[in-house]
Structures are given as C-alpha cells and as structure tokens.
C-alpha cells in the first residue's frame, strides 16, 4: 500500500522567512505527486502536481516543489512566507496504474506564520 510521510505536523516561520514542508513517499515506481492546502472550514485547494515532465514544479502563490527520486521526496518550498500562507498543507500521491482516481494523503502539516 502507498504510504506518504509528512515530517513535522507543525511548522512555524516568521513572515518573510523560507517555508520548507517535507514529504516522502514509499513506492518503487514514482507516483504522481500533489500538494494541497486547506484553510479553516474549507476544502482542499491544489497547489501543484508532479507527473514526470520536470523535477522542479512551480505552483500557485509562489510555492514550488522538487521531486527527488533517489530520496523518494517531494518537498514544498516558498522563498518568503506571507501571513496568508498560514494553513494546513497536505502531500498526496496517486499510484500509476489501476488505482487512478484515488489519492493517498499524508497526515498534514500545520503552517503558522508569525508577524
């Protein structure tokens, strides 16, 4: 079964500081990879996805993620945090093959941004 690990359930940064949220997956075949953000009392919003075209993926709101096969990682970064980035972030994978349409999610990382 697919496994997604997000290191750090809570991350705190100052406004303007680098944001780094970690995600590792367990799969011998690199899956499709996604990052979603969830604001309070809302659904999930897609930030970016990796399908295999490029290892560095740019998303919305200044976020980007780098796929590293050797490390089975897909960490999310943003050079400069903004107060509005405070939310919960989820890494998700979709295995290649017959389980299309099913996402496996990590447990989430709550990002706090201090002024």
Contact residues for another protein (CB under 8 A)?
A: 32, 34, 36, 41-46, 49, 51, 90, 92, 94, 96, 99-108
Separation CA 31–CA 68 (nearest Å): 12
Q: Do 72 and 27 meet the contact criterion of CB atoms below 8 Å apart?
A: yes
Is 22 or 49 the residue whose CB approaches another protein more closely? 49
Is 45 or 84 the residue whose CB approaches another protein more closely? 45
The nearest distance, CB 81 to another protein, in angstroms, is: 24
Residue 12: strand pairing partners: 112
The nearest distance, CB 48 to another protein, in angstroms, is: 10
Q: Do 40 and 111 meet the contact criterion of CB atoms below 8 Å apart?
A: no
The nearest distance, CB 45 to another protein, in angstroms, is: 7
Is 81 or 94 the residue whose CB approaches another protein more closely? 94
51's enclosing H/E stretch is none
Token pair 């903004």 in the structure block, residue: 82
Is 1 or 56 the residue whose CB approaches another protein more closely? 1
Separation CA 65–CA 58 (nearest Å): 7
């Amino acid at each position: 079964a697919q496994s997604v690990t997000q290191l750090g359930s809570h991350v705190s940064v100052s406004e303007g500081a680098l944001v780094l949220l970690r995600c590792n997956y367990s799969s011998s075949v690199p899956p499709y990879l996604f990052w979603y953000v969830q604001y309070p009392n809302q659904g999930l919003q897609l930030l970016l996805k990796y399908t295999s075209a490029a290892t560095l993926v740019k998303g919305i709101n200044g976020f980007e993620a780098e796929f590293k096969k050797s490390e089975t990682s897909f960490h999310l970064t943003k050079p400069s945090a903004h107060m509005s980035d405070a939310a919960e972030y989820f890494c998700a994978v979709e295995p290649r093959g017959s389980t299309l349409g099913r996402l496996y999610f990590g447990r989430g990382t709550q990002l706090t941004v201090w002024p």
